[in-house]
Amino acid sequence: MVVIGLTGGIASGKSTAARYLAEKGAHMIDADKLGHRVYQAGRPAFDRVVAAFGDDVVGDDGEIDRRVLGGKVFGSPAQLKRLTDIAWPEILAMAIEEIGKARDDGASVVVLEAAVLLEANWQSDVDEVWVVAVEPEMALARATARDGVDEAAVQARIDAQLSNAERVAIADVVIDNGGSEAELFSKLDAEWHRVRCASLEAAS
């Protein structure tokens, strides 16, 4: 089995690539979705978040109120780090558990889609890092068209992220998504073929 970590900056095309790889038959794990479950009551991160940020982050329903929690970390890199130091290891543990289940189910290719893959330092937990990359101008254009938000907000997020050069330096595979979707899919086809062959060879 081959485990791919799929990442990239805002509006680089991660989700588009992930949907395509799912159609090809990859077992998909979405770190964003795990991130929505990580603070659920009963999970280890719940108590740690409450201890770190106060009882008022717990809503009337007994769950973490993500809006209140978001307000506490907004604009404070130190507080945000405090939160990600709690959340990221837990999300990784959940992903590793899912990877184990996929292995037991006989999956040949698993794709962990994670915007924060490199920031969270998960590259050694996957076999290959695939970075989807577009020039910042194109990310800006695609993000504003998709989300209907203003350019300054998107630009601020681009500036706060790792640069393409930093991502590419760590990547095993760089998928340039500066062209059409068809071009993106054909690059993915080539890489998909390579990993499928590798995983079949390893299994034989």
Q: Between residues 64 and 133, which has the closer beta carbon with respect to ligand ATP?
A: 133
Q: How far is the CB of 162 from ligand ATP (least distance, A)?
A: 13
Check residue 120 for interaction with ligand ATP (CB under 6 A): no
Q: What are the tokens at 2?
A: 């081959």
Of the candidates 3, 13, 99, 164, which one interacts with ligand ATP according to CB under 6 A?
Answer: 13
5 binds ligand ATP (CB under 6 A): no
Q: Residues near 18 by Cβ (< 8 Å), separated by ≥ 6?
A: 6, 28, 30, 111, 113
18 HSE (CA, 13 A, CB side) = 23
Bin 176: left if φ > 0, else alpha if -120 < ψ < 50, else beta. Answer: beta
d(CA 1, CA 81): 33
- DSSP of 57-88: GB-TTSSB-HHHHHHHHTT-HHHHHHHHHHHH
> Least separation, in Å, of the C-beta of 178 and ligand ATP?
8
Contact stretch for ligand ATP (CB under 6 A) within 8-16, 36-44, 54-62, 123-131: 8-16
Using CB under 6 A, which of 14, 88, 108, 110 touches ligand ATP? Answer: 14
CB of 50 to ligand ATP, least distance (A): 29
Nearer to ligand ATP, 100 or 179 (CB): 179
Of residues 128-147, those binding ligand ATP (CB under 6 A): 142-143, 146
Nearer to ligand ATP, 64 or 131 (CB): 131
Tell me the C-alpha distance between 198 and 185, whole Å: 20
Kindly identify the residues of this chain, within the stretch 58-117, that bind ligand ATP according to CB under 6 A.
Answer: 115
To ligand ATP, the closest distance from the beta carbon of 146 in angstroms equals 4
Decide whether 11 or 118 has the Cβ nearer to ligand ATP.
11
CB contact at 8 A, 10 and 139: yes
What H or E segment, with its residue span, contains residue 175?
strand 173-176
Amino acid at 182: A
Q: Which residues bind ligand ATP (CB under 6 A)?
A: 8, 10-16, 115, 142-143, 146, 177, 180-181, 184
